[in-house]
Amino acid sequence: MVLILIFYKSRDSHMMTETVLSRSLRLVFSGGIAVGLGLAALPAVAQTASQDNSMQRVEITGSSIKRLAAETAMPITIIKREDIERTGATSAQDLVNLIPGNFGGGVSANNVGASGVPSTANLRALGARYTLVLLNGRRVANYAVGNNPVDLNSIPLSAIERIEVLRDGASAVYGADAVAGVINFILKKDYKGMEVSAYKTHVDQGGGNTTSFNLTGGFGDIATDRFNILFSANHEENDKLRASDRSFSTTSVREDLGINKSSPRNGVPNLNFSDTLGNKYVGVNPYRYNGCKNDEFSLVVNSEKGCGTDYVKYIDLVPEAKHDNLVTRGVFKINENHELFAEAAYTRDKMIAAASPAPYTKPMTYPANGRFYPKTIKLPKGLILPAGYKMPNGSVTTAETTLAADMDVTPTGPMSGTWRTVAGGGRNDLTKTENTRIVVGAKGNMAGWDYDTALTYGKNEVEIQFGPGKFSYAKLKPLVDSGEINVFGTQDAASLAALLGSQLSGFENGGTSVSKEFDFRVSKELFTMPAGAVGFSVGTSFRKETLTQVSSPVLSSGDEVGGAGEIPGVIGDRKVFGLFSEVVIPVVKSVELNLAARYDKYKNGFGTEFDNLSPKVGFTYRPSTVIMARGAVARGFRAPTLVDNLNPKALNNTSSNFHDPVRCPNGVPVNSINPVGELQDECSVQLTTQNSGTPDLKPEKSKQFTLGLVFQPTATISGSLDYWNVKIDKSINAMSENTVLGDPAGNINQYYRYDPSIAPGLPGSEKDPIRGSTNKDFPLAYVALPRVNTGKFYAAGVDLNLNYRQKMGDMGTVGANYDATKYTKHGYQYEGSPEVSDLGSFKDFGPTPKFRHMLSMTYGIGQWNASVTHNYTKGYEDYTDPSLISATYPLVRKVDAYSTFDATLGWKPMKNVSMTFGIKNIADEDPPSSRNGANFQVGYDATFTNPLGRTFYARLNYKFL
């Protein structure tokens, strides 16, 4: 974990008094979390504690024990409001991605080519599901589509006062499922007055601009009026950024990377047909003779006889989006010991993500009497003709012969191939997400006990609509089969009208996730020992979760043209009971011990249940007033999600392109009685998978520990150094497509094939698929990738934070903050297999860079303040497709480091007006090149980098006096 010490100064001296510092360095392992006193900002300098609250009892994120302000200790990075504004971030996703200890969470760009993909946090790069996201210390409803945790877009960042990031997991207070840590977004409180602000960006290369407006107000003073009401409203619009807008992402053919990700599913198919002389052809494109030059269909060369679609010509890098949120919070102070509070938050997000035109992936047959049937097909020069080929002059080849010049042949009979609906435009998904959250509670002191209790209701609703460019096989197939659609070139008015008339509209799929929770906790100092008071807390929580995921008949049956396959609905519920306690024991003057534990019991509505006790032990040791040591050991516990358990078997597609390892090994088609590619695409294509949940999955369990130092050698310098280590057993994952398709011999039982003579033209849906077959005459039906308790994850590393702040009299104040995470190990292990390290190397779950840092320098004088920030992520070994390794595709390739500089300038010309001007990515650095194939974007990794380039922004804030 990274933290920064906050330092205290006496009223009369610039030097810290030994008494205050000694008290300030007292630590508590609240909630089983090793805690160090401090405020770490991002980017920020150390904050000086106010002198009038040193005896105020306050709450600490991660603990239910209140402590004196001079004794508080936090294992956290605190990002304050002014630091949020300094980064220029307008969304929780953008802000969280700046934290060095967070890497690889979901981003909005992942919606390109998919739908309903949330933005997520990912502390320790262990997976988003291991990071617990809270709002005001309480849970938020999970995202309602897919198998996802909290969507960061449901967090109203404009109304957030600060963010506290706990870098140690298995929290006794919030849940033992917080294995990687906790991110707690805390709303503004006790706000009085009204302010408006406007924010605007200008992206230097064009596209992807952001505009936002905010109104925040509050009235009532708790101290004098006994109440306070806060409200905040925000509207934000994000323009789309298309792949064609950036030179590094404008084509799927990257010879410099040794990749050709063009799709074999084209607006003009690679055709299977026979000619009038009786010759048979498989996968010949009518435009291959001229090098596939056809701008209308964005064709590129992908084989000696076929073309591919350069699909990235049609896609977005960043989708168009709109975000609205409304937040209100009220507090009423009954008396000095009791107060009531209520808060309500509503967020609404709308996103339009554009992908390539829909590929008609099912077997397509065009009739010989179709009105667009071609009179001739031109064979390309260099095509290899087989022995026995009948030439137009009547001769017959006796051996394989290379065609010396382009040659016209006359097709006869029906023609087949896979087609793409280019004239219908790119596929668009329209996603609307609404998040509603209501909390009603009370807190105070009763009979000497501090208490805090609340009822929390959270609901996340996702509705995805069919946008333009979406088609149904049921509607489109009769038109293609009758020859009314031109699959060989430009549509005429009649065929275009027929094509567009078969588009889908209305509801596609969606879901509702509801969480209802009651929590209650109390704490007090039980008694005093010679070294200090013993703190104790106990609490309980009860939560009910329900999930309803619904798909339209088109999606549930897999009828969408170019869709992800069958997407069935999921309906389930569960009840979760928790009991937790912690105790802080000052053993001797310099040593403090913390004991904490949490008991969780899950009872699923479909019949299964399990429980677990998760303990945590921590200590602090203060050998002097300027340094202290801390450590903690804990066990965590994470239950399978409802989707993990209940998702029905359904046919989908791989996210990357692969070759059938039996019928197209290393991209080379084999000889077979059933020609490769005649019945379905089998080379360099998204293969069919069967995905499913597993009802009898076991919970995941973790072991973790931390050991660190917190130090403050002078009044201007402070810092911390912490080693952390996490191991997760029985991790739940769908079997990896990279692993199963990268090692077909070792995973042979995951392959299901079909005999075309029994089930012709029905890949994936025949009654009796043949498991484990390696018969080269049997095409692939699907690759089974069920969710399983696959093995384990592990991660370890060191967090370093250094902080400097110096007042220079009339010359202003300078500061610097260095926040870094270095991973020492990171990887996973499938059951029965050796460990796989992804430290600095792209593997099944992506890469984990060995090092990330943020270095910020600030300066303030009078009405002005400025900052410069350096963000750095170390490079790593790129993704490797084993089937492509060659001289132009080396086994090992390095993705360069990602390094950007940002700068801000703030000006406050008058009391109620402030302005901020900033530049992100000053040097206009492009994302480093990558051959990763997990996203629709090509040439860089959309999950880990930002494609916008240099971006100027301005924020204007006006406060009504």
Question: Tens of pLDDT along 919-945?
Answer: 999 999 999 999 987 788 999 999 999
Check residue 61 and give its pLDDT: 54
pLDDT of residue 844: 87
From the number of C-beta atoms within 10 Å of its C-beta (0-12, 13-18, 19+), residue 903 rates as middle
Number of folded domains that form the chain: 1
Q: Is the pLDDT of residue 40 over 70?
A: no
| Structural domain for 147, as ranges | 19-242+319-355+430-468+505-645+698-734+789-960
| pLDDT bucket at 287, cuts 50 / 70 / 90 | very high
The whole-angstrom separation of Cα 406 and Cα 389 is 16
Output the pLDDT for position 59. 53
pLDDT value for 37: 28
Residue whose C-alpha is closest to residue 828's, from 126, 148, 1: 126
> What is d(CA 579, CA 612) in angstroms, rounded to the nearest whole number?
11
Mean per-residue pLDDT, 719-736: 91
Give the chain's mean pLDDT.
88
Instruction: Look at residue 36 and tell me whether its pLDDT is greater than 70.
Output: no
The secondary structure of residue 897, as a DSSP letter, is P
Which value, to the nearest 10 degrees, does the dihedral of the CA atoms of residues 560, 562, 565, 567 take?
Answer: -50
Residue 73 has pLDDT above 60, yes or no: no
What is the pLDDT confidence band of residue 317, given thresholds at 50, 70 and 90? very high
User: Percent of the chain beyond pLDDT 70?
Assistant: 91
Q: What is the DSSP letter of 41?
A: -
Q: What is the pLDDT of residue 759?
A: 64
Cβ-based neighbours of 203, under 8 Å, separated by 6 or more: 209, 241, 948, 949, 950, 951
Burial readout 914-942 (b: 16 or more C-beta within 10 A, e: otherwise) = bebbbbbbeeebbbbbbbbbbbbbbbbbb
Least confident segment among 171-180, 589-598, 697-706, 719-728: 171-180
User: For residue 63, what pLDDT band results from cuts at 50, 70 and 90?
Assistant: low
pLDDT (0 to 100) of residue 557: 87
**Of the ranges 74-78, 650-654, 668-672, the best mean pLDDT one:** 668-672
What integer is the mean pLDDT of 653-678?
88
For residue 908, being part of any structural domain is answered with: yes
Q: For residue 115, what pLDDT band results from cuts at 50, 70 and 90?
A: confident
Q: Is the peptide bond before 100 cis (omega within 30 degrees of 0)?
A: no
Q: What are phi and psi of 357, to 5 degrees?
A: -55, 150
Identify whether 311 is part of a domain: no
Please tell me the distance from the alpha carbon of residue 638 to that of residue 129, in angstroms, as a whole number. Answer: 9
Is residue 515 in a domain? yes
Nearest to 934 by CA among 652, 686, 729, 721: 686
Per-residue pLDDT band for 11 (boundaries 50, 70, 90) equals: very low
What pLDDT, on the 0 to 100 scale, is given for residue 42?
34
Contact 899, 875 (CB under 8 A): no
CA distance 670 to 664: 6
pLDDT (tens digit, 9 = 90+) per residue, 175-190? 889 999 999 999 988 8
Residue, of 224 and 50, whose pLDDT is higher: 224
Residues with Cβ within 8 Å of 82's Cβ and at least 6 positions away in sequence, in order, are 44
Distance of CA 622 to the CA centre of its chain: 40
Across the range 417-429, mean pLDDT stands at 93
Lowest mean pLDDT among 155-169, 266-280, 314-328: 155-169
Whole-number Cα distances in Å, 367 to 342, 416, 479, 483: 67, 9, 11, 6
pLDDT at 13 over 50: no
Is 908 a residue whose pLDDT tops 70?
yes
Alpha carbon 603 to its chain centroid, in Å, reads: 28
Question: What is the Cα–Cα distance from 23 to 557, expressed in whole angstroms?
Answer: 65
Q: Does the structure show a pLDDT above 80 at 332? A: yes
Residue 697 has pLDDT above 50, yes or no: yes
Predicted local confidence at residue 793, as pLDDT: 94
In this structure, of 46-55, 340-349, 390-399, 445-454, the range with the lowest mean pLDDT score is 46-55
Model confidence at 810: pLDDT above 70 = yes
Q: What are the residues whose beta carbons fall under 8 Å from the beta carbon of 275, sequence distance 6 or more?
A: 281, 377, 409, 410, 411, 412
Contact 686, 656 (CB under 8 A): yes
Residue 484 lies in a domain: no
CATH of the domain at 831: 2.40.170.20
> What is the SS3 assignment for 644?
helix
Q: Find how far residue 592's CA is from the centre of its chain.
A: 38
Neighbours of 308 (CB within 10 A): 25
- With a cut of 90, say whether residue 2 has pLDDT above it: no
Determine, yes or no, domain membership for 228.
yes
pLDDT surpassing 70 at residue 738? yes
CA distances from 237 to 90, 118, 120 (A): 10, 17, 20
Pairing of β 913-920 and β 951-960: antiparallel
What mean pLDDT do residues 4-14 have? 33
Sorting pLDDT into bands at 50, 70 and 90, what band is 760?
A: low
The residues, any chain, with a CB within 8 Å of residue 465's CB and separated by 6 or more, are 429, 430, 431, 432, 505, 506, 507, 508
Residue 664, domain member (yes or no): no
Residue 234 lies in a domain: yes
Residue 424 pLDDT greater than 50, yes or no: yes
Q: For residue 712, which phi and psi values (nearest 5 degrees)?
A: -150, 85
Please name which of 358, 341, 345 lies closest in space to residue 429, comparing C-alpha atoms. 358
Is residue 516 situated within a structural domain? yes
Q: Which two tokens stand for residue 125?
A: 């790069």
pLDDT class for 62, splitting at 50, 70, 90?
Answer: low
pLDDT for 65 equals 54
The alpha-helical segments, DSSP class H, found in 673-831 are 737-742
pLDDT band, very low/low/confident/very high, at 562 (cuts 50, 70, 90): confident
Residues 826-853: tens digit of each pLDDT: 999 987 788 999 999 999 889 999 999 9
581 pLDDT band, cuts 50/70/90, is very high
- Mean of pLDDT values over 800-812: 93
**Angle made by CA atoms 353, 356, 358, in degrees to the nearest 5:** 110
Write the pLDDT tens digit of every residue in 764-776: 444 578 999 999 9
> What pLDDT, on a 0 to 100 scale, did the predictor assign at position 49?
31
Distance of alpha carbon 440 from alpha carbon 443, whole angstroms: 11
pLDDT at 34 > cutoff 60: no
Token pair for residue 900? 């950007």
Which distant-in-sequence residues (6+ apart) come within 8 Å of 561 by Cβ?
358, 359, 360, 361, 421, 470, 471, 472, 473, 476
Q: How many other CB atoms sit within 10 Å of the CB of residue 364?
A: 22
Identify whether the C-beta of residue 508 lies closer than 8 Å to the C-beta of residue 465: yes
Is-contact 877 868, C-beta < 8 A?
no
At residue 43 the predicted structure's pLDDT band, cuts being 50, 70 and 90, is very low
